[in-house]
Structure 1
Amino acid sequence: MSLKLKSNNNWALCPVDILLVVFKKLDIKSLLNCMNVNIYWRNTVEYYCEHVNLWKAMLQNAIDDEGVTFAEKSNLGEREQFLIAQQWYNVTNTNVCLRHCYKFDSSIRNIYVHKDNLIVVTNNAVKYFNIMNFEHIKVIDKSCVRYEETSSMIVELLVAPEQKLSPLLTLTNKLHANYVDSENVKQIILKDIDSYIVHLNSCYEYSCDRVLWMHTAKEIGWETKAMAKYHGIQQFCSLHIYKKNVYILLKCGSVLTPDTECNMLVFLFRFPEQLIDWKPFMFHECSLLFKAPAPSERSVALVQTRRHNSFVKIMPLRDGVTCVLEHGHILILGREDGMIEIYLTRKLMDPSEANFPELKLNLMNYLCKPEPKSELSLRITALEIHEDIYTGHHLFVSTMFNIYELLL
């Protein structure tokens, strides 16, 4: 809990040199609390962090994923990443406006942000745009199910030739710069993929034969490691990473984690609910957004979190959630009716907090001109974020043929 001091309190305007002596004795969590005392203390904490090079530690402690998404979705330094992350706590009071609308002839499959590039995956190509000036940078004539780029790799999920059941996953190492080596050293192609997720310099792959693999991009090439194998019979549901810890969610509600010593996926805990219909979304460490039966409706969306070996249903959500984006300490929900809801993760998991989003938007209010009121025109299919210290949060909202860039 942060301390609020009155302006006539002796500590409120304590001399800077005394505050700096005090700050040297504090841990990172205490320094974060000190930033909420008043503007004077906040400025002094910033001065202290700048001179003792604490911004990386502050960023890692202030954001759920230790600032990984903020680093990949901006060109900002650690100080600016921390400051822009803090602005999300005041998103309730922000003014929202439409900055740009990207229109496409073919349907949009996915969107991704890497640094200052918007990557759009359509049915027949992958297109890069410069977020700052909307310039169309390049086109890759390739049909991808998914395509994403990070600082260390490019990941392509391709439709397999000869109509095979499982698509092909291609990983390209951006860190490997030895052009003498063959292309096979820089690029690997994986088959029989059930799911995958990219985190830092590694791509975690869960194969159809129930083995969890880790492919790490290094300057000398790829390092591949079989982390663990699942020996049970329950069906796989999704793959999740929180602070380098890997979790596998099964459709029965069980959560597994790799035990690298015995090379097995071991049982960690089980969500009480049977997961149905809509694919659940696991976020933070042990929280789940999923659909469950309700007495008066077909289903209701629920958030359930594991705390001290017990489970708490945090809040019911209306049906119709079509996509979810976890961005550091923020959770953004897109709906089939064009509604967007932004939540702070810590509040979402706290039963004592009010069950309301920090910000609720209706995409219809930001359209340049009226569009046909069809089911597909406002149905949100993907969400992405770009961070900029000068212009703020860029929220990209994808429908079937358009991408709307909203400034928050």
Structure 2
Amino acid sequence: MYSGTALDAEKLNNDQHVRNWGNCPTEILILFFSHLDLKSLSICMFVNKSWLGAVKYYLQHFELWREMVEVTIPNKGVLYKEKCALGWREILFNFFLWRKISKARVSHYTSFHVKHVKSMKVYKNELIVVLDNEVKYLNMVDTSCNKTLHVKCYSYEESDYLVTILSKQQNNNNNNKSLLIQNKQYQSDMQYCDVFNLDIIGCYKLYSNSCYFIDSSSTLWVAITERHNYFSVKAVAKIYKPVCVVALHVFNQKVYVVTKEGIMFYVDGLQFKKVHHISYPQLCDDADIKLSYRLPFPFNDGCVAYRVPANAKWEISKSHQFDKIIMAVPRLSALFEHGELLFVGYEDGKIEIHCIDKILQCQNEPQKQFYMRSFVYDKDGDYRIQALDVYERVGRHYLVVALENNVHQMFIQLKQR
């Protein structure tokens, strides 16, 4: 079902020679596995229990768990690891469990008592939520508040290397935004890179040890923590005409931007090249960048989803030149990509979980769907999905859902092998 892995494993399992191999001593299997690359080893893990045990032993003995994660999980598992405090071995098997999403049971786990969330992001064992006049670090286990920062900002994010704070420029009557980037790896006092003015849109993307952002001249910059904790800022590429960038996306170190006019570009050397041009309802000129369901949602490798009115059709198409997916989704309000899955939120509180491989084949049938109104009650009847994120513990998976009046943690019970 996913990336051909399960299908390939099934073929191997049905082969008479492979069934005989299942009775081989572990030492022989390991000798055989030593001639395979890690991608092939990941397929062998799904043949039978004997092979799974042998692959586990092989990876543990040669300390290859991290390398296996990097070749198996999209983005080399970089973004995946920031959603939990697990080791590489546990990350890999948690990732494999998501492949059973079609048979998962969904239940309400707990609620965080916060309202009017501007943005949120799971980092390790905490949920970072931006409210009107403060930023809270909420404990994902017991929902307690670990830390409160009295900062007024639009967004606040953290990775293993950097902290970013996007806020309105002080003493400025325009809509300019200032982006503060903090280097967590600096050994003495925190090193800051301040201040970058982002006119109107304030568009940036935090990606592991890098932060990409677009300035008012349509130039893409990157601030990066490199070896020896050296912090550098450099220009990457420039669009040589006035555009308004509303979304920035990074996938496997490829950088994509989407403009207000619906044009998606990708970075090729020092230039932007057009991927496709989508036709969606004109975006409002409001410069407020709080959680908005009106913006396009780039995902995967050059794909994009955008909201259309309720009476429109759910459509998937491919751009002619680059064979990239364009999704027109009625009443779309939130979208979140995690591993091989795409979580889609709607204005009526419905959540769909899609397999990205299926979407790339232009199939829009979700693996799982449910409505938030089936689990929680909102006195105002506002169940619109504001934002989605994922948190993981060993063998346990949670979906974090932001509504207007609360943030909820849903337990996704996935059957163990």
Distance in structure 2 (CA, Å) of the matches to 1:124 and 1:301: 38
- Match for residue 137 of structure 2? 128
Deviates more, 1:245-254 or 1:28-37: 245-254
- Match for residue 217 of structure 1? 225
After superposition, residues 151-190 of structure 1 pair within 5 angstroms as 151-162=160-171, 163-179=173-189, 185-190=191-196
- Match for residue 48 of structure 1? 58
User: 3-state DSSP class of the match of 2:118?
Assistant: strand
Alignment partner of 2:257 out of 223, 248, 255? 248
Distance change >3 Å, CA 304–CA 161, structure 1 → 2: farther
Distance in structure 2 (CA, Å) of the matches to 1:32 and 1:220: 34
Q: How far off is 1:235 after superposition?
A: 4.0
Confirm or deny: 8 A CA contact 1:288 1:305 kept in the other structure: no
Alignment partner of 1:208 out of 216, 219, 232? 216
Confirm or deny: 8 A CA contact 2:305 2:328 kept in the other structure: no
User: 3-state DSSP class of the match of 1:144?
Assistant: coil
Deviates more, 1:36-45 or 1:394-403: 36-45
Alignment partner of 2:374 out of 337, 356, 365? 365
Alignment partner of 1:280 out of 281, 296, 308? 296
- Match for residue 275 of structure 2? 269
CA-to-partner distance for each residue in 1:83-140, whole Å, 9 max, x for gaps?
Answer: 1011110012222222211123x42111111110111111121111111222211111
After superposition, residues 187-202 of structure 1 pair within 5 angstroms as 187-193=193-199, 194-202=202-210
Q: How far off is 1:307 after superposition?
A: 8.4
Aligned length: 387
Equivalent AA in structure 2 for residue 299 of structure 1: A
Deviates more, 1:111-120 or 1:303-312: 303-312
Q: How far off is 1:60 after superposition?
A: 1.6
Equivalent AA in structure 2 for residue 279 of structure 1: L
- Match for residue 63 of structure 1? 73
Distance change >3 Å, CA 209–CA 300, structure 1 → 2: farther
Confirm or deny: 8 A CA contact 1:118 1:130 kept in the other structure: yes
Alignment partner of 1:379 out of 384, 393, 405? 384
Confirm or deny: 8 A CA contact 2:307 2:333 kept in the other structure: no
Distance in structure 2 (CA, Å) of the matches to 1:371 and 1:292: 25
Distance in structure 2 (CA, Å) of the matches to 1:276 and 1:403: 29
Distance in structure 2 (CA, Å) of the matches to 1:7 and 1:310: 35
Confirm or deny: 8 A CA contact 2:130 2:156 kept in the other structure: yes
Q: How far off is 1:308 after superposition?
A: 7.9
Q: How high is the TM-score relative to the length of structure 1?
A: 0.87
- Match for residue 329 of structure 1? 340
CA-to-partner distance for each residue in 1:56-83, whole Å, 9 max, x for gaps?
Answer: 2221222222111221111111111111
Q: Does residue 257 in structure 1 map to residue 266 in structure 2?
A: yes
- Match for residue 350 of structure 1? 361
Equivalent AA in structure 2 for residue 216 of structure 1: I
User: 3-state DSSP class of the match of 1:81?
Assistant: helix
Q: How high is the TM-score relative to the length of structure 2?
A: 0.85
Q: How far off is 1:372 after superposition?
A: 2.6
User: 3-state DSSP class of the match of 1:3?
Assistant: helix
Equivalent AA in structure 1 for residue 143 of structure 2: F
Q: How far off is 1:281 after superposition?
A: 1.3
Distance in structure 1 (CA, Å) of the matches to 2:210 and 2:249: 13
Q: How far off is 1:168 after superposition?
A: 1.4
Confirm or deny: 8 A CA contact 1:290 1:301 kept in the other structure: no
Distance in structure 2 (CA, Å) of the matches to 1:158 and 1:44: 52
User: 3-state DSSP class of the match of 1:21?
Assistant: helix
Q: Does residue 407 in structure 1 map to residue 402 in structure 2?
A: no
CA-to-partner distance for each residue in 1:288-336, whole Å, 9 max, x for gaps?
Answer: 212468xxx75345444458844566x764x111011111222101111
Q: How far off is 1:146 after superposition?
A: 0.6
Distance in structure 2 (CA, Å) of the matches to 1:308 and 1:85: 32
Equivalent AA in structure 2 for residue 83 of structure 1: F
User: 3-state DSSP class of the match of 2:154?
Assistant: strand
Q: How far off is 1:27 after superposition?
A: 1.5
CA-to-partner distance for each residue in 1:343-389, whole Å, 9 max, x for gaps?
Answer: 121122123xx53211112111222xx43352x2x111011111111
Q: How far off is 1:268 after superposition?
A: 4.4
Q: Does residue 338 in structure 1 map to residue 343 in structure 2?
A: no
Equivalent AA in structure 2 for residue 404 of structure 1: H
Alignment partner of 1:289 out of 305, 325, 331? 305
User: 3-state DSSP class of the match of 1:96?
Assistant: strand
Confirm or deny: 8 A CA contact 1:124 1:144 kept in the other structure: yes
Structure 2 alignment gaps of length 5 or more: 283-293, 413-417
Q: How far off is 1:7 after superposition?
A: 9.6
- Match for residue 26 of structure 1? 36
Q: How far off is 1:187 after superposition?
A: 4.2
Structure 1 alignment gaps of length 5 or more: none
Alignment partner of 2:102 out of 92, 96, 105? 92
Distance in structure 2 (CA, Å) of the matches to 1:62 and 1:176: 31
Q: Does residue 396 in structure 1 map to residue 400 in structure 2?
A: yes
Equivalent AA in structure 1 for residue 281 of structure 2: I
